[in-house]
Structure 1
Amino acid sequence: MKAMILAAGKGERMRPLTLHTPKPLLKVAGRSLIEHQIVKLAAAGFRELVINHAWLGEQIESALADGKDYGVKIQYSPEVAPLETGGGIFQALPMLGEEPFLVVNADVWTDYDFSQLRKPLTGLAHLVMVDNPAHHTQGDFAITDAMLSPEGAPKLTYSGIAVLSPQLFKGCAAGAFKLAPLLREAMLNGMVSGEHFVGAWVDVGTPERLQHAELVASS
Structure 2
Amino acid sequence: MKALIFSAGKGERMRPLTLHTPKPLLLAGGKPLIAWHLEKLAAAGVREVVVNTSWLGEQFAPALGDGTRWGLRLHLIDEGPMPLETGGGILNALPLLGDAPFLVVNGDVWTDLDFGTLPDVPAGDAHLVLVDNPAQHPRGDFILHPDGRVDDDGDAARLTYAGIGVYRPAILDRWRAVIGATAGAAAQPPQFGLAPLLRHAMGQGRVSGQHHRGRWTDVGTPERLAQLDAQLQSPHG
TM-score by structure 2 length? Answer: 0.90
Where does structure 1 lack aligned partners over 5 or more consecutive residues? none
Q: Could you say which residue in structure 2 is the equivalent of 1:14?
A: 14
- For 1:139 and 1:172, the matched residues in 2 are separated by 25
* Residue in 2 that maps onto 1:159: 162
Letter in 2 for 1:198: R
Task: Please tell me whether Structure 1 or Structure 2 has the larger radius of gyration of its CA atoms.
Answer: 2
CA distance in 1, matches of 2:122, 2:175: 21
* Preserved contact between residue 23 and residue 107 of structure 1 (Cα < 8 Å): yes
Identity of aligned residues (%): 56
Q: What residue identity is the alignment partner of 2:226?
A: Q
Query: Matched residues in 2 for 1:31 and 1:196: separation?
Result: 27
- TM-score using structure 1 length: 0.97
Structure 1 position 199 matched with structure 2 position 200: no
Greater shift after overlay, 117-126 or 186-195? 117-126
1:13-37 Cα offsets, whole Å, 9 max, x none, are 0000010111111011001000111
Give the gaps of 5 or more residues in structure 2. 177-188
Contact 2:101/2:120, CA 8 A, preserved across alignment: no
Runs of 4+, deviation exceeding 6 Å: none
Give 1:8 shift. 0.5
Q: Aligned Cα RMSD in Å? A: 1.1
Aligned counterparts, 1:67-216, within 5 A:
67-80=67-80, 81-144=82-145, 145-152=147-154, 153-172=156-175, 174-216=189-231
Query: Secondary structure in 2 aligned to 1:133?
Result: coil
Moved more, 144-153 or 129-138: 144-153
What's the CA shift for 1:118? Answer: 4.5
CA contact (8 A) 1:103 1:164 kept: yes
Give 1:156's aligned amino acid: L
Tell me how far 1:151 sits from its aligned partner: 1.8
